[in-house]
Structure 1
Amino acid sequence: MHPTLIVASLLICFVACSLAATMPDYIQVCHRNDPELSKCLKRSVHNLRPYLAKGIKELNVPPLEPLYIGDLNILDGSAGLTVRAKKMNIQGASDFEITKLRASTQSRRFDFELILPHLHGEGLYEINGNILALPIKGSGPFTGNFTNFVAYVRVQYDIKTVNDLDYLHVKEFALKIRTGKGNLKLENLFNGDKVLGDVINDTINQNFEVFTNDLIAPISRALEANFLVITSKILENFTYSELFPV
């Protein structure tokens, strides 16, 4: 082999080994020209799940378990019902399973669908108004279990140069959720009247999909904001060439 080719080969090997050594175990790189880029990205994101659950301190990525949503104005009274949630936490967000993923480096876009097999939520609520023609009023703790919720995510990105290095930058992050099955329990309805409280809880759970369809939009926005923070934190810590080498 010509000496120049030998030197070039050694340099390539050195750069590749150095790059591999600097990337943490939880980041599985995908080559940008990989004909099966979507499959590689799916494996890479799935590999991240246990790390996302605990958070990644060196990247300033907050933990997904529990996912703190905080306070939400869910319904504002315009439809005859006011619903507010406070100090809301969700367990199970890191157990997502990507079912479909389409990646395009040409259009700089990722589209994927994921299923959330089981979510458990808890916090405090305030509710006042009418639901399914029944008057409802109360405040107190609530718990909820949600199964097989489906999320649709669209990520549009561009490439920004910082100090002569290229980084992926999220331009748009959109998340929508389709409700699945589940149940809710609102405690202390009607100042603790068990009979009326049971009637309302039973009515909600018998019409769970209809009820949650009204509530899901603000929850989707809260999840969208949290997942955007996680995605941005990861992308700002690694260059485009580190994450997607040629």
Structure 2
Amino acid sequence: MIRAAMILSLLQLMSCHDLPEDWIKCHRNDPQLNDCLKTAVQGVLIQLGNQGLPSLDLKHLEPLEVNEIEVQQKGTSDAVSMKIVLRNAKLHGLSKSSILKFDAHLDNYELDGETLTAVMKLEADYVINGNIFVIPVTGKGKCNVTLYDATILHGIQGKRVERGGEAFMELKKYKTTFSAKRMHSHFDNLFNGNKILGDTVNQIMNDNFQFLINEMKPSLEKQLGIILLNYADEIFKKVPFDNIFPP
């Protein structure tokens, strides 16, 4: 048993990684920690854009590929009741986001940030079923949804865990809150390809995008948080806390 434990600890140590040497490292006792992190994360987004991080098996961020997203929401009013399943999704634009604010509360293993993405585009295969303004909506095909000037608030909560004698920040929750100034979407093949009905519903969605986003926000924000948590966790679960935030 002792030998098995020693082997497990050795394997865990061997699995530890460090961040690339050219990444800016922010010391957690630095009085200007938040300013440093704002600059560092901005650089990380650019580097992750097209190449990802092969040393951590982290895929490129541009576009961010997601196998499936399910948005199922009964709106706060009777005007919207919708279920949308997106598969083979590609989310464009995250690597080009501007970091507006970054606040680290490392004693509590919490990170908060705010980003602005000028153009965020989602492409996917979709299946939709529901109602918009008492209009039954069904369809299956290709879709694209583009948000303009999307502001996202990021709230990351973690906890300290020990593995192989090293401390890691285990991510527990990634909460997002977002808003956008404009949206344009198009869903092909609504109503089994009925062009008149399809064009009408697409126009209604675009003309009333702010209302629709507000109705669907809880589900949309939850799904975005899951996507970003899964991506960020590939770094935090492999790189020790002291390597990410040196003392």
Q: Report the alpha carbon displacement of residue 235 of structure 1 after superposing the two structures with TM.
A: 2.6
Higher relative contact order, structure no. (Cα contacts within 8 Å, ≥ 6 residues apart): 2
Cα distance change on mapping 1:161 and 1:117 into 2, 3 Å: same
Cα distance change on mapping 1:128 and 1:222 into 2, 3 Å: closer
Gaps of 5+ in 1: 1-21
In structure 2, C-alpha distance between the alignment counterparts of 1:121 and 1:157, rounded to whole Å: 28
Alignment deviations for residues 134-173 of structure 1 (CA, whole Å, 9 cap, x no partner): 3333222111211122221112233333333333332433
**Are the aligned partners of 2:109 and 2:169 in contact in 1 as well (CA < 8 Å)?**
no
Q: Does 1:167 align with 2:163?
A: no
1:83 corresponds to which residue? 84
1:231 corresponds to which residue? 232
Cα distance change on mapping 1:162 and 1:32 into 2, 3 Å: same
What is the total number of aligned residue pairs between the two structures?
A: 225
Amino acid across the alignment from 1:153? H
Cα distance change on mapping 1:73 and 1:226 into 2, 3 Å: closer
**Are the aligned partners of 1:179 and 1:213 in contact in 2 as well (CA < 8 Å)?**
no
Q: Does 1:43 align with 2:39?
A: yes
2:21 counterpart SS class: coil
2:129 counterpart SS class: strand
Cα distance change on mapping 1:223 and 1:82 into 2, 3 Å: closer
In structure 1, C-alpha distance between the alignment counterparts of 2:160 and 2:43, rounded to whole Å: 24
Q: Report the alpha carbon displacement of residue 23 of structure 1 after superposing the two structures with TM.
A: 5.2
**Are the aligned partners of 2:63 and 2:90 in contact in 1 as well (CA < 8 Å)?**
yes
1:59 corresponds to which residue? 56
1:243 corresponds to which residue? 244
Amino acid across the alignment from 1:118? V
Q: Report the alpha carbon displacement of residue 76 of structure 1 after superposing the two structures with TM.
A: 6.0
Q: Larger radius of gyration, structure 1 or 2?
A: 1
TM-score where L is the length of structure 2: 0.79
**Are the aligned partners of 2:168 and 2:240 in contact in 1 as well (CA < 8 Å)?**
yes
**Are the aligned partners of 1:71 and 1:85 in contact in 2 as well (CA < 8 Å)?**
yes
In structure 1, C-alpha distance between the alignment counterparts of 2:132 and 2:34, rounded to whole Å: 43
Matches within 5 A, 1:1-246: 24-53=20-49, 54-75=51-72, 80-246=81-247
**Are the aligned partners of 2:73 and 2:216 in contact in 1 as well (CA < 8 Å)?**
no
Alignment deviations for residues 186-227 of structure 1 (CA, whole Å, 9 cap, x no partner): 112222222222211111110011122334444433332232
Q: Which moved more, 1:108-117 or 1:222-231?
A: 222-231
Cα distance change on mapping 1:214 and 1:69 into 2, 3 Å: farther
Amino acid across the alignment from 2:240? T
In structure 1, C-alpha distance between the alignment counterparts of 2:123 and 2:19, rounded to whole Å: 37
Alignment deviations for residues 71-116 of structure 1 (CA, whole Å, 9 cap, x no partner): 3332367954443323222111211222122122333322111122
Gaps of 5+ in 2: 1-17
In structure 1, C-alpha distance between the alignment counterparts of 2:155 and 2:97, rounded to whole Å: 16
Cα distance change on mapping 1:77 and 1:23 into 2, 3 Å: closer
Cα distance change on mapping 1:245 and 1:118 into 2, 3 Å: same
TM-score where L is the length of structure 1: 0.80
**Are the aligned partners of 1:90 and 1:119 in contact in 2 as well (CA < 8 Å)?**
yes
Q: Which moved more, 1:97-106 or 1:209-218?
A: 209-218
In structure 2, C-alpha distance between the alignment counterparts of 1:237 and 1:96, rounded to whole Å: 25
